[in-house]
Amino acid sequence: MSRIIKEEAIIKEFNTVGKNVEKYDGLPLVTGQPLFTDDIFLPDMLHAKILTSPHPHAEIVDINDSEALKIPGVRIILSYKNTPRIAHTTAGQGYPEPSPYDHFMFDKKVRFIGDRVCAIGGDSIEIVEEALSKIKVTYKELPYILDPEEAMKGEVIIHDEDDISGVYDKDRNIISHVEIPIGDVENGLKESYYKVEEEIYFTQPVQHTPIETHITITYFDEYGNLIVRTSTQVPFHIRRILSKILEFPMKKIRVIKPRVGGGFGAKQEMLIEDICSLMTIRTKKPVRMELTRKEEFISSRLRHPSKIWIKLGADKDGKLNTIDMKVLLNNGGYGTHGPTVLFNSGSKTLPLYNKAKNVRFIGDAVYTNLPVSGAFRGYGATNGYFALESAMDDLADIIGIDPIELRKINHIREGETSPIFEKLGEGKEGVTQYIESSALSKCIEIGKKEIEWEKWRGKKVRNGNLVRGVGMAIMMQGSGIPLVDMAGARVKLNDDGTLHLFVGATDIGTGSDTILAQILAEEVGVPYEDIKVYSSDTDNTPFDTGAYASSTTYVTGGAVQRAGNEIKRKIINYASKLINENPENLIIKDRYVVNINTGEKISLREIGEKSFYDFEQEQIEASASFVSPKSPPPFAAHFVIIDLDLETGKIIPVKYVAVNDIGVVIHPNLSKGQAIGSIVQGLGFALTEELIYSKRGMALNPNFLDYKLLTSLDIPEIVVKFIETYDPTGPFGAKSVAEININGPAPAIRNAVKDAAGIKLNHLPFTPEKVFNALKEKKI
Amino acid sequence: MIINFILNGEEVNFDAYPGETLFELLRRYHHYEVKGNNCKTGECGACTVLIDDKPIPSCTFLVGKVIGKKVTTIKGFGDIDNPDLIQKSFVEEGAIQCGYCIPGIIISVENLIKKNPNPTRDDIKETLSSHICRCTGYVQQIEAVEKVIKKIKEGK
């Protein structure tokens, strides 16, 4: 059965797109196949671990490893003393990276508790652990600073090296600074009929907690090539960075990404691959390194803790005329992803309300002596939306209209643009674009009905200690980075008529292997089952920037569609010669080339076989790339019902509704999974998750008992709906779904609590303690 | 020391180190179907196996205690050509994303349905709560289990 999407005069009929085809890696995963980085056996493999800094800020005066080296089975120790000093960023981004080059493989200085000091490789983990305890490090402790506003005073300088680059202002610890004025904000606010005076919002450090922590295994193959088998979102960036910092020929590095046990941004980094690789280069032995859960918390990456100031101004009719937003990001000890997360906190949020004539966005990403922030699903937008969508709700209260109405008056629509698209890009200027598809108004309407808004809003329905509230938020994201993200795809026809698809795209559990095969099947006109996917191998698949920025469906999907179109043309041309027919009369349908006039058919199997052995012999294959000047935003409207326990301060989410416009839905079940997964991570961000530090910046809860993730018992009823639009620039009309839904829970819950009890929670997460104190203050 | 137990229906004699956990032993003997090992405290549930029909995180279970017992990993259920109902349902319902936590979760679900063929939604949530899945948000996993129960009831 085919599915029809109507979009104005265009009628699209799909055979594979929109179907819940079997997830490409589904059966291998449910039967426990050895799919992951760690699931191989290599003889003589060394195990590696890092020694991490116990001080938030210190110079390393000396490292004495003589006792450690005496332990039998210790094979190699790496430190600043014997490793190349080449400034780089660990951020896995397109080259040249927008992140500063402020990191060295090993430095003479440590900048947070958990920073690298040295690494040991040995015959077993136990031997390495013993050796680590024998390393004597002499530190000269330095004053440290954890608060970004204090850091900007420059009394303590965290990066004073001469050989780093790309830092905005080293003397004041400012990694990146941005100031975008559109119109006149001061005057706009002065003349506004309604105003939200300055409110300040705080977001906390949270960790991605992929259940598979960072793990890498390196070894030399039979030809002397360095194989880097690693759990990453960015295999091609890993290859490029390794080659540079190890001064090892790129040609001899092959990065392989097996199945990855979750990433969410944490693995958009070159985090441990350099240590394993250098140990393999020096010892010629395979080397394995896996972060423990504690190390994943403190020595990997986090979502930026942030402080956001916001002011809004509106006219008498509720039209926003002014948005003033200031963002301060705490980047921790290194600047990875600092400029881009900073810019995204404005670039992915402010265009949503494009009617505002006066917009100011001021931002700073700042070094402190805390663990390092990096990429995390939502990428700045999540922080920005917490502030913006909370402030919008407060503005509705001030005006005295329904918050849904205020959003409807002001949100961006199809055919419109925002000056922000051009002003704010990825750590630099962006690209002008117009919205070519949006069902946001419809998403809002449908969500409002599903949550029964009128029934609950403002009613404060009581049930014992519980009082009920309902809140909402709207949001957008992007689909890839315009004019930066590029993907290649290659397709070949086999002699059984099936196709092999080669993509650099990195399926980290998102299902991209599956949906890319669907896109190819749809384009060529073959069943999904006839496609075999090879992905993420830097030697054997074409380039792809990687799994980030909600890019794979849109960018790699675009490349796959184009490669599919090209091989279709080649198959038809071959068939036309074979049966002596004009190619214009031929189409591919259900494994056959069909003559549309006569009904004459020739199978792809026969074509494949003949092309190999019999007639005009050639390998029928095609390749294509895609880079887009656009990044069409998906849109979503989120609604939540909560019960607030007035005695304990606990917020109980009861029902969550997310209505999405992600363009044409390629795979409904996988898309729904992306949405629900984001929502539950967002609920954790809103309610329970927080990495807590001591006064010295030591993480106090780096484990799953004390860092509270939501479990199956904590989730509300979740309803996800898709309102399909057709984006003309996406593969079969598709946009992205991976990140957008993580932006909603924090503001929607905050607004629901305000509906229930009139308290404004501006400091994430909304723990019972904070809620209880706010209730007490309001004497509720 | 040689440890003797029944693994997926077959008697095995593995040479264990003192203080080794069942997880470490199984992985050392290339039983890569058991995933996990970074929390080492049983908190994430990824390394869950059945020990005498009880789901237990193998990273907390010392090998000395396994002598003479029956251990079942995900390999004791369906395989890639013949997945069982639960495994198929997880694939069909979109209950898997990265799949790293999935063998452990399926083992707990197999155990639940074997012991209680008619579990409520709360029973299912309770079972899943011994596992952390960071990708899916659990909803489609709950739906996958409910679908299996329905199929079993309908005798499919």
pLDDT tens for B88-132 read: 999 999 999 999 999 999 999 999 999 999 999 999 999 999 999
Range A353-361 average pLDDT: 97
Only one residue has tokens 């305000």, namely A754
Over 50: is that where the pLDDT of A4 sits?
no
Shortest Cα distance, chain B CAs vs residue A140, angstroms: 32
Helix (H, G, I), strand (E, B) or coil at B12: strand
CB atoms A669 and B134 under 8 Å: no
User: A3-17+486-627 adopts what CATH topology?
Assistant: Aldehyde Oxidoreductase; domain 4 (3.30.365)
**Is any Cβ of chain B less than 8 angstroms from the Cβ of A701?**
no
Same fold, A145-197+315-424 and A436-478+630-780: yes
Predicted local confidence at residue A160, as pLDDT: 95
Nearest neighbour of A27 by CB, restricted to B75, B83, B128: B83
Nearest neighbour of A712 by CB, restricted to B38, B103, B128: B128
Beta-carbon pairs below 8 A across chains A and B: 180
Over 60: is that where the pLDDT of A30 sits?
yes
Range A351-355 average pLDDT: 97
Predicted local confidence at residue A555, as pLDDT: 98
Range A631-660 average pLDDT: 98
CB atoms A676 and B41 under 8 Å: no
Nearest neighbour of B101 by CB, restricted to A33, A211, A680: A211
Percentage of residues of chain A with pLDDT beyond 90? 98
Give the bridge partners for A254, in sequence order: A227
CATH code for the part of the protein at A145-197+315-424: 3.30.365.10
Shortest Cα distance, chain A CAs vs residue B62, angstroms: 17
Residue A91: band (very low, low, confident or very high) from pLDDT cuts 50, 70, 90: very high
Nearest neighbour of A680 by CB, restricted to B30, B40, B137: B137
Alpha-carbon distance of A242 to A257, in angstroms, equals 15
Q: Which residues of A touch B43 (CB under 8 A)?
A: 293, 703-705
Shortest Cα distance, chain B CAs vs residue A739, angstroms: 12
Range A187-203 average pLDDT: 97
Q: What is the pLDDT of residues A465-476, one digit of tens each?
A: 999 999 999 999
Range A670-684 average pLDDT: 98
Predicted local confidence at residue A606, as pLDDT: 98
**Is any Cβ of chain B less than 8 angstroms from the Cβ of A670?**
yes
Shortest Cα distance, chain B CAs vs residue A25, angstroms: 9
Q: State chain A's mean pLDDT as an integer.
A: 97
User: A436-478+630-780 adopts what CATH topology?
Assistant: Aldehyde Oxidoreductase; domain 4 (3.30.365)
Buried b (16+ CB within 10 A) or exposed e, A116-127: bbbbbbbbebeb
Residue of A nearest to B122 (CA): A713
CB atoms A713 and B129 under 8 Å: yes
Q: What is the pLDDT of residues B5-27, one digit of tens each?
A: 999 999 999 999 989 999 999 99
Residue of B nearest to A711 (CA): B129
Over 60: is that where the pLDDT of B78 sits?
yes
Range A201-206 average pLDDT: 98
CB atoms B33 and A31 under 8 Å: yes
Q: Which two tokens stand for residue A431?
A: 């690209």
Q: Which A positions 39-68 lie with beta carbon below 8 A of chain B?
A: 39-41
Q: State chain B's mean pLDDT as an integer.
A: 95
Nearest neighbour of B100 by CB, restricted to A31, A36, A264: A36
Q: Which A positions 482-521 lie with beta carbon below 8 A of chain B?
A: 508-511
Alpha-carbon distance of A506 to A547, in angstroms, equals 5
Closest by Cα among B60, B64, B57 to B18: B64
Question: For residue A233, which amino acid is it?
Answer: Q
Residue A6: band (very low, low, confident or very high) from pLDDT cuts 50, 70, 90: very low
Q: What is the pLDDT of residues A397-435, one digit of tens each?
A: 999 999 999 999 999 999 999 999 999 998 889 999 999
Residue B31: band (very low, low, confident or very high) from pLDDT cuts 50, 70, 90: very high
Element at A665 (helix H, strand E): none
A298 near A707, Cβ under 8 Å? no
Q: In this structure, how many other beta carbons lie within 10 angstroms of the beta carbon of residue A133?
A: 11
CB atoms B32 and A34 under 8 Å: yes
Alpha-carbon distance of A363 to A668, in angstroms, equals 38
Percentage of residues of chain A with pLDDT beyond 70? 98
CB atoms B33 and A27 under 8 Å: no
Residue A8: band (very low, low, confident or very high) from pLDDT cuts 50, 70, 90: very low
The CA dihedral of A481, A483, A485, A488, to the nearest 10 degrees, is 150
CATH code for the part of the protein at B2-76: 3.10.20.30
CB atoms B138 and A712 under 8 Å: yes
Sheet of strand A58-64: strand arrangement: A109-110, A58-64, A136-141
Predicted local confidence at residue B40, as pLDDT: 82
Predicted local confidence at residue A404, as pLDDT: 98
CB atoms A704 and B79 under 8 Å: no
Q: Which residues of A touch B101 (CB under 8 A)?
A: 211, 261
Q: Which residues of A touch B133 (CB under 8 A)?
A: 211
Range A371-389 average pLDDT: 98
Secondary structure in 3-state letters for A161-190:
CCCCECCCEHHHCEEEEEEEEECCHHHHHH
Domain limits, chain A: 3-17+486-627, 46-142+208-299, 145-197+315-424, 436-478+630-780
Domain limits, chain B: 2-76, 85-153
Alpha-carbon distance of A110 to A52, in angstroms, equals 9
Range A505-524 average pLDDT: 98
Question: Among A10-14, A433-437, A649-653, B142-146, which is the least confidently predicted range?
Answer: A10-14
Residue A158: band (very low, low, confident or very high) from pLDDT cuts 50, 70, 90: very high
CATH code for the part of the protein at A46-142+208-299: 3.90.1170.50
Shortest Cα distance, chain A CAs vs residue B57, angstroms: 14
Range A507-514 average pLDDT: 98
Closest by Cα among A170, A163, A34, A32 to A107: A163
Pairing of strands A136-141, A320-332: unpaired
Over 70: is that where the pLDDT of A2 sits?
no
Shortest Cα distance, chain A CAs vs residue B45, angstroms: 10
Question: For residue A428, which amino acid is it?
Answer: K
Q: What is the pLDDT of residues A526-577, one digit of tens each?
A: 999 999 999 999 999 999 999 999 999 999 999 999 999 999 999 999 999 9
Alpha-carbon distance of A408 to A420, in angstroms, equals 20
CA distance to A77, A127, A658, B18, per residue, from A122 (Å): 9, 6, 50, 20
Of residues B48 and A7, more confidently modeled: B48
Predicted local confidence at residue B156, as pLDDT: 62
In this prediction the pTM is: 0.97
Q: Which residues of A touch B135 (CB under 8 A)?
A: 262, 509, 673, 677
Alpha-carbon distance of A41 to A486, in angstroms, equals 35
Predicted local confidence at residue A780, as pLDDT: 74
Over 50: is that where the pLDDT of A767 sits?
yes
Q: What is the rounded end-to-end Cα distance, in angstroms, of chain B?
A: 46
Q: In this structure, how many other beta carbons lie within 10 angstroms of the beta carbon of residue A402?
A: 16
Helices vs strands, H then E, count in chain A = 20, 29
**Is any Cβ of chain B less than 8 angstroms from the Cβ of A680?**
yes
CA distance to A339, A388, A774, per residue, from A269 (Å): 15, 29, 39
Q: Which A positions 177-236 lie with beta carbon below 8 A of chain B?
A: 208-213
CATH code for the part of the protein at B85-153: 1.10.150.120
